[in-house]
Amino acid sequence: MSGSPEPTGDVWTDIYTPEDLGRFVTRLRQARGLTQAQLADELGISRQYIHEIERGEPNLYSTRLFSLLRLLNAGLRAHYASQP
C-alpha cells in the first residue's frame, strides 16, 4: 500500500497482522484528510493509541485477534470505496 494516500476506485486488502491493519488504517485516515489527532478526537481516544495502531504495534487485543484468526486458518479482508 505504497504511493499516493488517496485510493482511487475500490481498494481491497488482506489483513493478517497488526502491521497490515496499521497500513490500511493509515491509508484510510490520510485519504480522508484527517490527522491522527483529529481521528483520535472523533473516536474519543488518544492520538498515541492511533499512532500505535498505525505502526502495527501489537497489543493484547490485536495479539489475541490475529492468534485466533491464525488458529482458525482465517484472515480479514478490508474494503475501501472512494465513493460513499
Beta bridge partners of 14: 77
Cα–Cα distance for residue pair 11/8, rounded to 1 Å: 8
Do residues 14 and 20 make contact, with C-beta atoms less than 8 angstroms apart?
A: yes
Give the whole-angstrom CA distance, residue 7 versus residue 68.
Answer: 30
pLDDT at 33: 95
What band does 83 get if pLDDT is binned at 50, 70 and 90? low
Identify the pLDDT of residue 5.
Answer: 47
Q: Do the domain assignments include residue 64?
A: yes
Residue 4 lies in a domain: no
| Domain coverage including residue 64 | 10-81
What whole-number percentage of the chain has pLDDT above 70?
86
Number of structural domains (the chain) is 1
Whether residue 18 contacts residue 66, with contact meaning beta carbons closer than 8 Å, is answered with yes
Domain contains 34: yes
Domain contains 5: no
24 in any annotated domain: yes
CATH number of the domain enclosing 32? 1.10.260.40
pLDDT in tens, 19-37: 999 999 999 999 999 999 9
pLDDT band at residue 4 using 50, 70 and 90 as cut-offs: very low
